[in-house]
Amino acid sequence: MDNREKVLYDDGTHKCVMFAFDDESHEETFLSVNQYLIVQNGVGILVDPGSEAIFDELYEAVSKHVEIENIKFIFFSHQDPDVSGSIAQWAISTKAKFIMPSLWVRFMSHYGFMEMSRVMSLPDHGAKLKFGGDYLKFVPAHFLHSPGNFSLYDSKSKIVFSGDIGAAGVKAPTDYKHVVNFQEHADDLHGFHKRFMGSNKLCRAWVSKIEKLDVKTIAPQHGLIFEDENATLFLEWLKELKCGSDYMDELY
């Protein structure tokens, strides 16, 4: 199976697609970078479109699912180059509005993005956006890892696009990138989260917001996605995780 594109949800009017156009192999580990597209009745929202280097490839792949001119929103969970590096190219190529944490709006000019009138900046407490007959919810995920950061919940597919939360460097999967055995995956998760995530308190705050939603899938920006029971196991794991400032003594 081609690992670079996977339809995660499709009910005929609403579709979610996962792309993986920036994967890198580093010896044993495999750092996958996932981009996502949500389409409802021909209108699209692109999620964390990634770096400049993959723009052409992603543009072509996305255009097979939605007319580029019908991409209404592009969401950037945070400011990192693997999330936002292509923002200037998407600005030239679409008429979309750009949704991002308010904290990072001014920094986007460093990627060559100057069209600030097209930005919908998210306040720290998040926002809810009507999308067709359903809604998208921007859930605060600050300091997990970026200090201005949101996850995106799609109420129709019940997918949480979690950004770097749930990310892992893994061995190259042989098939579709989803967690099969959570316990086996936990070591890969731990390596990333211990250093990149802010603290256990912040993890718990995020989990408590996610637990209020009807979630079927958690889809991170790197690594494997968590479906059904594995999504629940991941939330339980994250609640207990020590990370970031919990390791203050080791870091200093």
The distance of closest approach from Cβ of residue 232 to Fe ion in the complex, given in angstroms and rounded to an integer, is 23
Other CB atoms within 10 A of residue 158 CB: 15
Least Cα distance to 9 among 36, 49, 47, 46 occurs for 36
Helix (H) or strand (E) holding 129: strand 127-131
Binder of Fe ion out of 22, 154, 164, 188 (CB under 5 A): 164
> Are the C-beta atoms of residues 44 and 52 closer than 8 Å to each other?
no
Binding span for Fe ion by CB under 5 A among 54-62, 94-102, 126-134, 158-166 = 158-166
Q: Which one-letter DSSP state was computed for residue 183?
A: H
Angstrom CA distances, 204 to 43, 57, 222, 231, 241, stand at 34, 37, 21, 15, 9
The SS3 of residue 49 is coil
The distance of closest approach from Cβ of residue 227 to Fe ion in the complex, given in angstroms and rounded to an integer, is 21
Q: End-to-end distance of the chain based on CA atoms, in angstroms?
A: 45
Across 12-60, where does the E strand assignment appear? Answer: 14-19, 24-26, 29-31, 35-40, 43-47
The distance of closest approach from Cβ of residue 141 to Fe ion in the complex, given in angstroms and rounded to an integer, is 11
Is 48 a binding residue for Fe ion by CB under 5 A? The answer is no
Size of the site for Fe ion (CB under 5 A): 4
User: Which of 59, 196 has the CB closer to Fe ion?
Assistant: 196
User: Which of 81, 132 has the CB closer to Fe ion?
Assistant: 81
Binding span for Fe ion by CB under 5 A among 109-117, 161-169, 200-208, 232-240 = 161-169
Binding span for Fe ion by CB under 5 A among 1-9, 54-62, 72-80, 111-119 = 72-80
User: Which of 51, 221 has the CB closer to Fe ion?
Assistant: 221
User: Which of 126, 220 has the CB closer to Fe ion?
Assistant: 220
Binder of Fe ion out of 37, 44, 71, 80 (CB under 5 A): 80
The distance of closest approach from Cβ of residue 133 to Fe ion in the complex, given in angstroms and rounded to an integer, is 31
Is 82 a binding residue for Fe ion by CB under 5 A? The answer is yes
Least Cα distance to 227 among 174, 173, 182 occurs for 182
What is d(CA 9, CA 153) in angstroms, rounded to the nearest whole number? 14
Q: Return residues touching Fe ion (CB under 5 A).
A: 80, 82, 164, 221
